Amino acid sequence: MRDAARSGQAAALATITTTRGATFRRAGARMLVHADGRVVCELSGGCPQRDIVQRALGVITSGRPELARYNTQSGLDVLMEMGCGGELEVLIEPLADSTAGVFFNALAACLEGRRDVVAATLFALDGGVMPPRRALWCGGEWHFDEFGDSGLRDAVVYAIASNSAQRAATLRLPAAGAMADVLLERIEPPHALFAIGSSATASALLSAGRALGWQTTLVDSNPERLQEAVLPPCTHAVHAIPQSLRDVLPLDRYSSVVVMTHNLEQDLAWLAALHDAPVAYLGAIGSRERTSRMRQGLSPRITDLHAPAGLDIGSETPAEIALAIIAEIVGTLNARGGGSLRDNSNALHP
């Protein structure tokens, strides 16, 4: 978004605003479409994807936003084309000469500060699609506001408090003399993954984290091992000892830590330093017998320690172990147990 705004490239932004039934993505998912047909973060791989891109190219030409509806009444019947039985609405807006770039700069600043953010996008009044207006609620105050309507801002704040469990939803809220369709989205900072202990498995774990767009950091008490470690691009290397760990690492509830030194005494020291750390996931690798000894050696105990870390998928190689751990972290973040989709009736997003 920022690159397109800086270069003045013609582009359109496609945002899923509403879903019903089982769909391939949730409300709030976005795709950037350039005038030459290139896309960033495609929404799906099927017919809706191609249709949305074609509509976006038309929006770039016309300069007018569009709300595309995919249901049994639309020209593209998602029940047939998608094969998942869901319905959705997609807002497609041109970005030329818009303030979207300013909004996304403000959003990026909030996320870089590791703060909770709720983005509000007003895209229709009394059912009529309009050029979107945006507002940004961050840290209990407005950091960006195109609404120009104090009543609508108050309604948004009330809705944020009332819908605390929802990631994204389109709500109909009272505005000045009309009813406004507003997409509310809770946007979290990029997840941060910390691996403690240099090894091939740590490198594989951090590579998998980078593939998910996470911030990745390798921590080791031995500076020589840090220099010798083969790390994926944009991965930080931090020299620390257990006693200084909490002062060195910016741990928060959007971060995960995996202890993997392959030395029981060192693992215990690192885990003791991480007791009560405000992280989303804390894990340690090792055999069941070794991690049992690890748990017994911890005082006070860490009740939510994932050890052995990872899902039980028969992992042996560093890449397989990394995959199992990453899968467990993602499941923890989404409050899912990691069972087979074959046995899950909600295989697609409800």
| DSSP-derived secondary structure for 207-247 | HHHHHTT-EEEEEES-HHHHHH----TT-EEEE--GGGHHH
**Per-residue tokens: 311:** 């899902």
- Is the domain of 32 the same as that of 109? no
- Is the domain of 270 the same as that of 325? yes
pLDDT mean across residues, the chain: 89
What residues contact 315, with CB distance under 8 A and at least 6 apart?
A: 321, 323, 324
| DSSP-derived secondary structure for 119-133 | EEEEEEETTEEEEEE
* Residue that wins the pLDDT comparison between 22 and 340: 340
Are 181 and 124 in contact by the 8 Å Cβ rule? The answer is yes
Report if residue 342 sits inside a domain.
Answer: no
% of the chain at pLDDT higher than 70: 92
Domain with 274 in it: what CATH number?
A: 3.40.50.720
* Residue that wins the pLDDT comparison between 317 and 336: 317
How far is the C-alpha of 284 from the C-alpha of 262, rounded, in Å?
Answer: 9
pLDDT of residue 344: 65
| Cross-strand partners of 138 | 117, 141
- Condensed to tens digits (0 to 9), the pLDDT of residues 182-218 reads 999 999 999 999 999 999 999 999 999 999 999 999 9
Q: Is the pLDDT reported for residue 13 higher than 90?
A: yes
Q: Which of 60, 94, 128 is the last residue of a domain?
A: 94
- Is the domain of 141 the same as that of 259? no
Report if residue 346 sits inside a domain.
Answer: no
What residues contact 227, with CB distance under 8 A and at least 6 apart?
A: 237
pLDDT of residue 246: 94
Instruction: Starting at the earlier edge strand, list the strands of the sheet with 236-239.
Output: 236-239, 215-220, 192-196, 255-259, 281-284
pLDDT of residue 74: 59
- Is the domain of 175 the same as that of 206? no
Q: Is the pLDDT reported for residue 348 higher than 60?
A: no
Give the count of domains, the chain.
3
**Per-residue tokens: 124:** 């229709």
How far is the C-alpha of 152 from the C-alpha of 180, rounded, in Å?
Answer: 8
Rounded-to-5 percentages of helix, strand, coil across the chain: 35, 30, 40
Range of 41's domain?
Answer: 2-94
pLDDT-based confidence at residue 78 (cuts at 50, 70, 90): very low
Q: Which of 137, 167, 187 is the last residue of a domain?
A: 187
